[in-house]
Chain A
């Protein structure tokens, strides 16, 4: 890989990066939990002949 001198991110940028990553992880977790709940409800409806 070609050596590049990239600017070192400022501390604020690193903190912001971590905050955004945390928010994204929470969003993914929320979506997965909702998907599990949705599949559970779908299964109930389908078994009930819906």
Chain B
């Protein structure tokens, strides 16, 4: 093995010894977050009036996925200091030393530019513009500005996660309409109780990292009260797609049942002094959005339920 010589001048002390694996780069894309983003974007695409060639629809979904992944990679690069402190994030590729920070940010920027460019060339400029705005909002407004400064970080920053259905809608129609804004508001209002449920049982973690999540700054009681308010406000918003004629009675009935269950989960969190109810609410919040958007697609898609039942 004497033919291999490594100069100490070219070795970065922070670089991983054996180099990053392909899997580490995939992990940078936050696949679990990406899956929900892709699903909501796909739902926007499916329920929008009009036709888009299946290949172009697939390209639009791919661009939303890559754009979301790029945002995640840049977020992991910027937050590598606090990620190393928090239990939940310390095993991520950068704090674990498996991916070099510069490689991660370069990877994210290249993917972001690629996704927006492809969306503009293959689909339309409005969808590309919305995708670019979403990535910029997540990186600059949420990650760099709000996250470490205000307990309202995920309320305002949550807008970034709410844009995908609008992007999907814009990909098909080339427009922003009241119905697509309703889909945006649905996710926007869902985000705070979803993240605060997580923050309630990770309060120590966030406090240690100096992230001013609401339970850290205002306490558990105030957080639980706000979660309840948001779930109540979400209830009528979830019915907006039905009220706007986007979906039929199946969706409306499901939205009522799921909405009541979500409020019930928030009430249980209010009365629970431990963290069990918060954990359950966090898990249910994901199921809630998944089921709601599944029904939106099923109720809207022609042939699946014989069209919308009104």
Contact = CB atoms under 8 A, between A and B. Distances in A.
Given A11-B4, A14-B1, A14-B4, A6 B17 contact: no
Interface residues of B, number: 21
Interface of B: 1, 4, 6, 8-9, 11, 13, 17-22, 25, 53, 55-56, 59, 118, 121-122
A50 B4 contact: no
B4 to A, nearest CB: 5
Contacts of A46: 56, 122
Contacts of B118: 38
Interface of A: 1, 3-6, 8-9, 11, 13-14, 16-17, 20-21, 23-24, 27, 38, 41-42, 45-46, 50
A24 B71 CA distance: 21
Contact of A45 (B11, B18, B20, B55): B55
A13 to B, nearest CB: 5
17 contacts: A4-B13, A5-B8, A9-B17, A16-B18, A17-B18, A20-B18, A20-B19, A24-B19, A24-B20, A24-B21, A24-B25, A38-B59, A42-B55, A42-B56, A42-B121, A45-B56, A46-B56
B101 to A, nearest CB: 17
Contact of B55 (A21, A27, A50): A50
A38 B121 CA distance: 12
Interface SS, A side: helix
Given A13-B17, A20-B21, A24-B21, 17 more contacts: A3-B8, A4-B8, A6-B11, A8-B6, A9-B17, A14-B4, A16-B19, A17-B17, A20-B19, A23-B22, A24-B19, A24-B22, A41-B55, A42-B59, A45-B55, A46-B122, A50-B55
Contacts of B9: 1
Nearest to B59: A42
Contacts, number: 53
Nearest to B7: A6
A1 B9 CA distance: 8
A20 B1 contact: no
B56 A27 contact: no
A41 to B, nearest CB: 6
Contacts of A45: 53, 55-56
Contacts of A3: 8
Contacts of B8: 3-6
Contacts of B20: 20, 24
A47 to B, nearest CB: 12
Given A4-B13, A38-B59, A9 B6 contact: yes
Contacts of A14: 1, 4, 6
A20 B24 CA distance: 11
A44 B43 CA distance: 26
